[in-house]
Structure 1
Amino acid sequence: MPSGLIALLDDVAGIAKMAAASIDDVGAAAGKASTKAAGVVVDDAAVTPRYVTGLSPSRELPIIGKIALGSFRNKLLFILPAALLLSAFAPWAITPILMCGGAYLCFEGAEKLLEALGHGGHAEDTPVEGDPATLEKTTVAGAVRTDLILSAEIMAIALADVSAEPILTQAAILVVVGVGMTVVVYGAVGLIVKMDDIGLHLAERPRGRFRALGRGLVKAMPVVMNALSVIGTAAMLWVGGGILVHGTHTLGLHWPAEPLEHLAHAAGAAAGPLEGLVSWLVAAFASAVIGAIVGGAIALLVHQLGRLRAASAH
């Protein structure tokens, strides 16, 4: 009996070690996949604060909480099952679908770039006028719709990175990515939108050090918001272009992926101790240029179709 108990304990210990190793593997894979989706996450964090602009400060965090709940629902109830079905029955479609999402990111980035250069751009969803309850409901619905697109991109990027894993491992990794990204994005958004209030509260403190910090926060927030917008646009072009470059290579086209890889390696080799950083910067810049070209072409086509539709309507 004692020997049987010891054997049982050994088996339990072995299972526990295997489970711990699996958890470590899931965590590592989720971290890697999340890093590749960083560009979409930055844009998500940059876009969301505008949904509570002009609303009552007391409702800002509750509204962000509702949007975050909608984001959880988007990722876990809709996108996750669709992604797993796709991986199980049509894995060949992952790369083309991911490339379509990459092209959409390029389009969004190009639109924002054109808007910044004074050449129009597309209208974002903005809250409509009405009673507070209707306004809040409309605001949350618009934000959740936008989140669905961004969440689909995050999950698609993660799925493409773990498509070779067993289906249960894929599910675990996608859950970790979905939950983790949502917490990070909307936690950051909540901090951003309340930073003004925190600054004002500190500025009213009697001690000079806290007052100076509060005034600094209030003055810094417009700069932070502008910086987030710029970083979000650059990230969309870089990530979208990178998805297209990687996708064409996966589908068997050697151009432009291989020439860009050789260029990045050559630039890195010439940089000496900064080889890794310079290689990454060159690759990211090249991807962003490709993203801007592709996104600009799509934006031009969309605008032209819009003009033709408006002309036919009149």
Structure 2
Amino acid sequence: MSAGLLGLLDDVAAIAKLAAASIDDVGAAAGRATAKAAGVVVDDTAVTPQYVHGVAADREIPIIKKIAWGSIRNKVLFILPVAMILSQWAPWLLTPILMVGGTYLAFEGAEKIWGRLRGHEGHAKPAATVGPEAEKALVAGAVRTDLILSAEIMVISLNEVASEPFFSRLVILLVVALVITVIVYGVVALIVKMDDVGLALAGRSSELSQRIGRSLVSGMPKVLAVVSVVGTVAMLWVGGHILLTGADELGFHWPYEVVHHLEEAAAHAVPTIGGFLAWLVNTLFSAVVGLVVGAVVVAVMHVLPFGPKHADEHHADEHHADEHGAEPVAGPDAVAGPDAGTGPDAGPRATPGPDER
């Protein structure tokens, strides 16, 4: 009886060790997948605070919570099932889809740079909102934007763990979805409320508290600016790296091979920091590829006359002219205005009626 009990305990211990090892594997894989999607995560963190710009202070956290729940629904209910189906039955589609996401990332990064060069921001900043309907529309717009970013995050993460068994992939992606959402919107909430913390500290009697409070209030715009720059660079780097590795997997080898040879040369040049130099070379060339590809897409979308953005700007100019009462230029068949009869080519004036004499 005791021998059987000891055997059972040994089996339970072995199962526990196996479960612990599986949890460690899932945690490690989720960590790798999350790190791989860092560029999109930073961009998501930089973009989201703009959606609560101008709203009442007591509505900032509730709005962020609603956007966070919408982000979880996007990842778990919509993106994850599609990603799992593709990875199980059509894994050959993952690389092209990932490259489409990489191209979009490169476009987003290049568009931000183009916007700064022109003096415009890459993402529109909503005006202050009042009332439940406006708040509902704001949250819906933020969740729609999050759908694109979340899709990129999940596909990038899935590609990192594509060799894992089905249920392991499912658990890993669920962990990634929850962890990234908590990180992104936790940081967003911290950023958004940091100026309120600064104001509260600035109102205290302690001189040290006042100094810290004023530093927080004045420093948060700079923090957001740094996060935005890092997000732009990260998007170019991640997008370019996805395009390089994806092209290599599809048979277009030489761009990735050139970068790989340069990585190895940098690693052997200074062995003490060879790993860091190799990573730096890869990051630099990936960012350059992302910038070139993104610039081409920006040119199509913004600069060339047949791009959709050009058409949108044309309609916006017409709307702006209508709002300010601008008159369209009269064509040759335009109807004459009230002063049309004063010109040399004017026709005969109408004979005044009896009440006009």
Pairwise TM-score range, normalised by the shorter structure: over 0.9
CA shift, 1:312, in A, is 10
Give me the CA root mean square deviation: 1.9
CA distance in 2, matches of 1:153, 1:283: 21
Q: Which has the larger radius of gyration?
A: 2
Aligned partner of residue 126 in structure 2, secondary structure: coil
CA shift, 1:258, in A, is 0.9
1:144 aligns to what? 143
Q: TM-score, normalised by structure 1?
A: 0.94
Contiguous gaps of at least 5 residues in structure 2: 319-357
Deviations 1:259-303 (A, max 9, x none): 011112212332342222222112111111110100110111122
CA distance in 2, matches of 1:210, 1:308: 51
Distance 1:221 1:250, change over 3 A: same
Query: Is structure 2 residue 57 aligned with structure 1 residue 54?
Result: no
CA distance in 1, matches of 2:77, 2:62: 22
Structure 2 contact 50–126 (Cα < 8 Å) conserved: no
CA distance in 2, matches of 1:67, 1:229: 20
Q: Which amino acid aligns with 2:64?
A: I
Q: Which amino acid aligns with 2:296?
A: A
Q: Which amino acid aligns with 2:44?
A: D
1:229 aligns to what? 228
2:170 aligns to what? 171
Aligned partner of residue 205 in structure 2, secondary structure: coil
Contiguous gaps of at least 5 residues in structure 1: none
Q: Which amino acid aligns with 1:76?
A: V
1:218 aligns to what? 217
Deviations 1:32-71 (A, max 9, x none): 1111111110000000000000000110011000000001
CA distance in 1, matches of 2:223, 2:152: 25
1:30 aligns to what? 30
Distance 1:53 1:310, change over 3 A: closer
CA distance in 2, matches of 1:272, 1:154: 34
Moved more, 5-14 or 34-43: 5-14
CA distance in 2, matches of 1:187, 1:110: 27
Structure 1 contact 127–138 (Cα < 8 Å) conserved: no
CA distance in 2, matches of 1:307, 1:172: 40
Q: Percent identity?
A: 55
CA distance in 2, matches of 1:15, 1:311: 63
Higher RCO structure (Cα 8 Å, ≥6 apart)? 1
Distance 1:236 1:70, change over 3 A: same
Structure 1 contact 115–121 (Cα < 8 Å) conserved: yes
Q: Which amino acid aligns with 1:273?
A: T
Aligned partner of residue 272 in structure 2, secondary structure: helix
CA shift, 1:6, in A, is 2.2
Structure 1 contact 127–135 (Cα < 8 Å) conserved: no
CA shift, 1:310, in A, is 6.1
2:345 aligns to what? none
Structure 1 contact 129–135 (Cα < 8 Å) conserved: no
2:336 aligns to what? none
Deviations 1:223-256 (A, max 9, x none): 1111111111111101000100011111122121
Distance 1:8 1:246, change over 3 A: same
Q: How does 1:1-314 map to 2 (within 5 A)?
A: 1-118=1-118, 124-127=123-126, 131-303=130-302, 304=304, 305-306=307-308, 309=311
Deviations 1:150-177 (A, max 9, x none): 1111111110011111000000100111
CA shift, 1:26, in A, is 0.2
